[in-house]
Structure 1
Amino acid sequence: MTVTERKWWKDGVVYQIYPASFKDSNGDGVGDLNGILSELDYIRSIGVDTIWICPMYDSPQVDMGYDIRDYEKVYPPYGTNEDMEHLIAETHARGMRIVLDLVVNHTSDQHAWFQESRSSKDSPKRDWYIWRPARYIDGKRHPPNNWLGNFGGSVWQWDEHTEEYYLHLFCPEQPDLNWENPITRQAIYKSAMEFWLERGVDGFRVDTVNMYSKGDMADAPVTDPGSEWQFAGLQYCNGPRMAEFLGEMNEVLARYDAMTVGECPNTPDMKRVVQYVSAKEKQLNMVFQFDVVDIGQGPYKFQTTPKNYTLPSFKSAVARTQSLLRLSPDAWTTVFLENHDQSRSITRFTSDAPPHRVAGGKLLALMMCALSGTLFIYQGQELGMTNFPESWDMSEYKDVDSSNYYQMVDQRSGGDAGKLADAKRSLQHLARDHARVPMSWSTARYNGFSPAESTVEPWMRPLEDAEVCNAEQQVADKGSVLAFWKKMLAVRREYNDLLVHGEFDDLDNADEELFVFSKTWKGKRALAVCNFTEKVRKLEVPEGVRNSKREMLVSSVGGDDEAELGAWEGRVYLLS
């Protein structure tokens, strides 16, 4: 592949859909495939050319569909396989593409494969999952290692029936598949990938893509002396057989010219990331690195205080993900600030206070559209939706990650009111629940998420701010966050070489208030200036570009004062 080759997914803009929360077409309180179908024209009008649908497979929903019971069947509340095939066809009819979530590190414990695997030690599918005998210390039974699970506790679950432990990096109901078994791998490709590729899907967002090769599964180093279980992400990610497994998977995908974007946590070594996304390595097209969205998180995500980071650290994280294009001429990168696992970006990175939320939403849109790589927008982000309010109590937090953390703090602190208030404060800032509330479509009942005549409450509480933030109103408002996203995506298309493919340079990392960066492509240059404060700032152009002639391409607030930037204002200039 030559450096200049332009694959469709490089210039693409992907809109991520969380089916349960997008639109409920039949009034049962849960979003569904026909709800998505009804809004395809709205999605296309934003300037998006690909939709990514989070797991719509049959599932007990312990982890919101990331625990799959049957790869070849749609979750009944979302619709039928026929509904899915209709949605694929209608997406294609609008000139858009469709990618699905591929969740193959683990299945549900209700999947037929696991049911067979746990039935006996002699089961032909026993080795399809990762089973180990207990360790005995002083006559007491212990799990095989000290690894901490992604949702807390041990990664090992004791199975009384066969008297062994099975591995689950996530919930106990999400047993890990054994990728070391070649028969298992072939079954995964056939059931989870080819089944849907044959039905026309254009690719996959690959969940937990770097966890398939688990290494020697030795104990993790003790980093939390107060806990029996230790962070092990650097042990079970990026294991020795990853290149082999992904190469094999890529052979299947290549037959369909299917796109992949892998979820790639716990990979601090950029050389390793380059290996995953370099075209010649034939592993993945691109990955999601978490440098930017992990900013301000504690060692255990929620153990932190809100906004616990500096702008220079945020800028450095952006620079790391952008650097992939420099590190290898055939590598590619991604741009995202939100997804189903993150809280809302306006709340986290700008200000959701009423006077500033619109400006904050536009600033982030401008910054993202000026960065190189494939752009990913999460449902509601184009409207500037924010986290739900602090006044909501813990009963509104439905996510297993949130409830497990709160329970852990409760148990460890003996119910200490101050520590529980701190826990809720960090959840109010970082919990995944904020991205999962129903979309605000209008000011009708249920914010237009469910039909007004529905008698069933939505599965999660709709936001209370639909009066100031809903799709129907923003479609008609030229000053809305939505209107600005449309404008910026048009600018991004017009200056595609420079903004999508150009080389990124942070021009003043030390500035605590302004993010100023340049983009360069074959002698052409652009300058982005973003004021990450709620005060007017003097426009200071770094020395390296001070003598260039500047032509303002776009301002996020319509400002044209050459001397000053408004609160939360971003601008893009062409330089000559």
Structure 2
Amino acid sequence: MSTSWLKNSVFYEIYPQSFCDSNSDGIGDLRGIVTKLDYIKNLGCNAIWINPIYDSPFMDAGYDVRDYKKIAPRYGTMEDFEHLLEQAHKRDMKILLDLVPGHTSDTHEWFQSAKTGFPTPHDDRYIFTKCVWDAPAEYRMMCGVCERDGNYLVNYFSSQPALNYGFYEVTHPEWQFSSDSPEAWATVDALKDIMRFWLNKGIDGFRVDMADSLVKNDDDKVATAKIWRNIREMMDSDYPDAVLVSEWSNPLRAIVNAGFHADFYLDHQGNGYNELFRKRATPDSDNLSVFADGAHGDITAFLADYVPAYLCSKDHGYISFITNNHDMPRAPFYMSEWMVQLSHAFIMTMPGVPFVYYGDEIGMRYRTDLISKEGGFSRTGSRTPMQWNHEKNLGFSDADEEMLYLPLDYSEGYPTVEDQIGVGGSIYENLKSLIALRKANPELMNESDFEIVYAREKEYPFVYKRGSFTAFINPSDEDKTIEFDADGMKEYYFLGGYEIGDDSVTIRSRSFLLLRNEG
């Protein structure tokens, strides 16, 4: 892989409107991010993913793009972005932008042109039926809302018309274009033009939203992968140091077939990430995952999903574990503060490229009492402003409180950066030390091998190797002892407690231990 900088990268995800407000309007912005670059670097993160900053009506918090080549005025100017990029690179930090390739806003000039009913160059940029009375039930359609005699597909919200990358299986030839048609590939060319615009400015790549959503009627994602392979060829040729990270959560399809450099391991019902952190029998029942308080989970269920994906993709790219993201309830909604720390120890000692969501380094909480903001709905509670200190608005903004993008969390014991920096045992300090540990030891970095040492169905601990390191993790409420010859091994890091015997290791309840073979 020519993008060798990924080998030791740890990313920090910034939700820009909620991170740091530099101009006192209540909304985070690009200049605010610049003021916090040293903070992010000191945490140990050397790369940043920024959620969409393009011009948008914000019906879906910026994932409804009105102009891909313009910065949303609330975040600043193009000059502000270029300054951010310059300052990040000066600190040897990488910047990924969020690419939204599958749909635009219905206020985008392409769609404003295509919906008129008059012949335009953008008539086939979106997916319209031939008449307003044609609305097949198998598709999500908007009907009778524009002048053009036809209904159009949306990817989800009504304000997000799907771009036309064609259909792999054409079932309605009167209005569906093949994925190999010139019309479909004209959309690919338009996407590549957008990507070139930002890559020419010097960004280090893209996180790709809904990367598997391009071609319709493409169940096995064959045609969608073909598009991304074509784009990867462009990048390898013209931007060899730039990377693509997919929101797909299918490493075989995303990394091996489609050519992404990394793929997020997302919380999908029943998959390995869900088994680790967020498994519930019903939405309101207890946490049944491996890292649940009370430890009801099954590590073998995680491994059954993860190991095949890891083995098929490890020579081609990276699986990215995330502490959280902007679409999921924050971890403290599911587990205690200490269990959050154990989950961080696990994530930072596994293969792949890890991502830290802003605020997870201090244990920011999920708010269940908020009205939806900009299409956030249940996601809104994970998008509240960053809690820096105990000054006005917890250091996020000098604006009046009613102007803030979202309300701050003032509930009892609310966390701040100020209260955790330099405090031993805090979520911040332990995560910082884990990131430093990872980056100081190539065997714990993103490419080193992973080997299962001990894993039993519905039992603890879980023991795994990374090179000369052996990690033991026991989220349960009971001490666990296994036969293990630790001769020649030395304690390298731990959370909680442990005891090493002549031919055994006891890992205390809710503990993590990392040994290194010094032989």
Structure 2 residue 355 is matched with structure 1 residue 376: yes
Following superposition, the deviation at residue 29 of structure 1 comes to 1.2
Instruction: State the alpha-carbon separation in 1 of the partners of residues 37 and 412 from structure 2.
Output: 21
Distance 1:507 1:306, change over 3 A: farther
Instruction: State the alpha-carbon separation in 1 of the partners of residues 300 and 246 from structure 2.
Output: 23
Q: Does 247-256 or 64-73 show the bigger shift?
A: 247-256
Aligned-partner SS, 1:131? coil
How does 1:248-397 map onto structure 2 within 5 Å? Answer: 248-254=230-236, 255-257=238-240, 258-265=242-249, 267=250, 273-278=251-256, 283-290=259-266, 291-295=271-275, 304-311=283-290, 312-313=297-298, 316-317=301-302, 320-328=305-313, 330-332=315-317, 333-348=319-334, 350-351=335-336, 357=337, 359-388=338-367, 392=369, 395-397=370-372
Structure 2 residue aligned with 1:42: 39
> 8 Å contact 2:105–2:160 — kept in the other structure?
yes
> 8 Å contact 1:22–1:31 — kept in the other structure?
yes
> 8 Å contact 1:528–1:573 — kept in the other structure?
yes
Structure 2 residue 494 is matched with structure 1 residue 555: yes
Instruction: State the alpha-carbon separation in 2 of the partners of residues 344 and 465 from structure 1.
Output: 15
Instruction: State the alpha-carbon separation in 1 of the partners of residues 230 and 486 from structure 2.
Output: 52
Aligned-partner SS, 1:115? helix
> 8 Å contact 2:461–2:480 — kept in the other structure?
no
- Which of these residues, 164, 177, 182, is aligned with residue 163 of structure 2? 177
Instruction: State the alpha-carbon separation in 2 of the partners of residues 385 and 326 from structure 1.
Output: 34
**Deviation digits for residues 326-356 of structure 1 (CA, Å, limit 9, x no counterpart):** 22552222121311111112332x32xxxxx
Following superposition, the deviation at residue 531 of structure 1 comes to 2.7
- Which of these residues, 64, 67, 72, is aligned with residue 67 of structure 1? 64
- Percentage of pairs with the same residue: 29
- 1:35 is aligned with what amino acid? G
Instruction: State the alpha-carbon separation in 2 of the partners of residues 167 and 64 from structure 1.
Output: 20
Structure 2 residue 488 is matched with structure 1 residue 496: no
Distance 1:497 1:517, change over 3 A: same
Distance 1:253 1:396, change over 3 A: same
- 2:515 is aligned with what amino acid? Y
Instruction: State the alpha-carbon separation in 1 of the partners of residues 115 and 134 from structure 2.
Output: 19
Structure 2 residue aligned with 1:228: none
Structure 2 residue aligned with 1:144: 136
Following superposition, the deviation at residue 166 of structure 1 comes to 0.7
Structure 1 residue aligned with 2:170: none
Instruction: State the alpha-carbon separation in 2 of the partners of residues 434 and 293 from structure 1.
Output: 21
Structure 2 residue aligned with 1:124: 121
Aligned-partner SS, 2:68? strand
- 1:244 is aligned with what amino acid? K
Instruction: State the alpha-carbon separation in 2 of the partners of residues 297 and 496 from structure 1.
Output: 26
**Deviation digits for residues 396-455 of structure 1 (CA, Å, limit 9, x no counterpart):** 3436363xxxxxxxxxxxxxxxxxxxxxxxxxxxx322320111101122111112x646
Following superposition, the deviation at residue 244 of structure 1 comes to 2.0
Unaligned runs of 5+ in 1: 136-140, 148-153, 217-234, 268-272, 352-356, 403-430
Distance 1:468 1:324, change over 3 A: same
Count of matched residue positions in the alignment of Structure 1 and Structure 2? 484
Distance 1:77 1:468, change over 3 A: same
Instruction: State the alpha-carbon separation in 2 of the partners of residues 124 and 507 from structure 1.
Output: 60
Instruction: State the alpha-carbon separation in 2 of the partners of residues 107 and 398 from structure 1.
Output: 19
**Deviation digits for residues 197-240 of structure 1 (CA, Å, limit 9, x no counterpart):** 11110000011111111127xxxxxxxxxxxxxxxxxx4xx433
> 8 Å contact 1:296–1:304 — kept in the other structure?
no
Instruction: State the alpha-carbon separation in 2 of the partners of residues 497 and 320 from structure 1.
Output: 23
Q: Does 303-312 or 117-126 show the bigger shift?
A: 303-312
Structure 2 residue 189 is matched with structure 1 residue 186: yes
- 2:208 is aligned with what amino acid? V
Unaligned runs of 5+ in 2: 167-183, 291-296
Instruction: State the alpha-carbon separation in 2 of the partners of residues 184 and 548 from structure 1.
Output: 61
- 1:176 is aligned with what amino acid? A
> 8 Å contact 1:322–1:504 — kept in the other structure?
no
Structure 1 residue aligned with 2:149: 163
Following superposition, the deviation at residue 507 of structure 1 comes to 4.6
Aligned-partner SS, 2:92? coil
Aligned-partner SS, 2:381? helix
- 1:194 is aligned with what amino acid? R
> 8 Å contact 2:114–2:125 — kept in the other structure?
yes
Following superposition, the deviation at residue 492 of structure 1 comes to 0.8
Distance 1:399 1:371, change over 3 A: farther
Following superposition, the deviation at residue 9 of structure 1 comes to 1.1
How does 1:330-479 map onto structure 2 within 5 Å? Answer: 330-332=315-317, 333-348=319-334, 350-351=335-336, 357=337, 359-388=338-367, 392=369, 395-398=370-373, 400=375, 402=377, 431-451=378-398, 454=400, 456-465=402-411, 468-479=414-425
> 8 Å contact 1:334–1:373 — kept in the other structure?
yes
Structure 2 residue 513 is matched with structure 1 residue 571: yes
**Deviation digits for residues 136-159 of structure 1 (CA, Å, limit 9, x no counterpart):** xxxxx5732324xxxxxx454443
**Deviation digits for residues 112-140 of structure 1 (CA, Å, limit 9, x no counterpart):** 011111111633211100112469xxxxx
Following superposition, the deviation at residue 463 of structure 1 comes to 0.9
- 1:288 is aligned with what amino acid? F
Structure 2 residue aligned with 1:480: 426
Following superposition, the deviation at residue 277 of structure 1 comes to 1.6
Structure 1 residue aligned with 2:204: 202
- 2:145 is aligned with what amino acid? D
Distance 1:362 1:82, change over 3 A: same
> 8 Å contact 1:56–1:65 — kept in the other structure?
yes
**Deviation digits for residues 438-489 of structure 1 (CA, Å, limit 9, x no counterpart):** 11101122111112x6464311111114855111221231321111111111
> 8 Å contact 1:322–1:372 — kept in the other structure?
no
- 1:444 is aligned with what amino acid? E
Distance 1:293 1:341, change over 3 A: farther
> 8 Å contact 2:275–2:301 — kept in the other structure?
no
Structure 1 residue aligned with 2:54: 57
Instruction: State the alpha-carbon separation in 1 of the partners of residues 158 and 131 from structure 2.
Output: 16
Aligned-partner SS, 2:409? coil
> 8 Å contact 2:58–2:374 — kept in the other structure?
no
Instruction: State the alpha-carbon separation in 1 of the partners of residues 509 and 404 from structure 2.
Output: 36
Distance 1:496 1:185, change over 3 A: same
Structure 2 residue aligned with 1:539: 480
